[in-house]
Amino acid sequence: MLIAFAVAATVAVAATALMVSSRHPVHALLDLILSLLAVAVIFYLLGAPLAAALEVIVYAGAIMVLFLFVVMLLDLGRVAEEAQAALEPRALRVPVLLAAVLIAEVMSLLVQAPSGAGGRQVGAAAVGGALFGPYLIAVELAALLLLAGLVAAVHVGRREDAGDTRGSGS
């Protein structure tokens, strides 16, 4: 268990360092996804399977795809030329190695303990009970926050009208 934690932590730190030092945004995104997946493995090892699943689904899935969309939108002009260089096997060697280590670790964990890593597990039922019990008001506030974020994103991200390049801010 401790060895599994050390391996996942190493992968997380290495992937994050690669992300910070990466020059190409798509490479950085892939490194960041790798880091998030490693943290998901650590959540699983800590006995938090729901947090691990949500880390994969929401963080590595939804939020990172949002990033990828924007990166692709911004790099429209350069993508054609850089796509060749970005997909060179040499540039992807270290991240692929880290991902392989992570996959091997998850496989070995599943073989050793298919029903969950040791220690006390706090499952989805307990979290859901707390979420809709004492934290109910916070859940409602999170819903409001997400709605406000949606409205603000639509407002800020709207296309300027032709001729109104200064943006009146309204």
Partner 1 sequence: MSGAVPMSWALLLALVLFALGLIGLLVRRNLVFILMSIEVMLNAAGLAFVAAGARWGEPDGQVMFLFILAVAAAEVAIGLALVLQMWRRFGDVDADLTGRRDGG
Place of tokens 């490693």: 38
Of 86-94, 97-105, 116-124, the segment contacting partner 1 by CB under 8 A is 116-124
Among the listed residues 84, 115, 165, 168, the single contact to partner 1 using CB under 8 A: 165
Alpha-carbon distance of 103 to 37, in angstroms, equals 10
Residues 6+ apart with CB under 8 A from 35: 11, 12, 15, 16, 19
Q: Which of 37, 44, 19 is nearest to 99 (CA)?
A: 37
Asked if residue 98 binds partner 1 (CB under 8 A), the reply is no
Residue 32 Cα to chain centre, angstroms: 7
Q: In angstroms, what is the minimal distance from the CB of 47 to partner 1?
A: 5
Segment (H or E) for 154: helix 136-156
Which residues are near partner 1 by CB under 8 A?
1-2, 5, 9, 12-13, 16-17, 19-20, 25, 28-29, 32, 35-36, 39, 42-43, 45-48, 50-51, 54-55, 58-59, 62-63, 66-67, 70-71, 73-74, 112-113, 117-120, 122, 126-127, 129-131, 135, 138, 142, 145-146, 148-150, 152-154, 156-157, 159-160, 165, 167
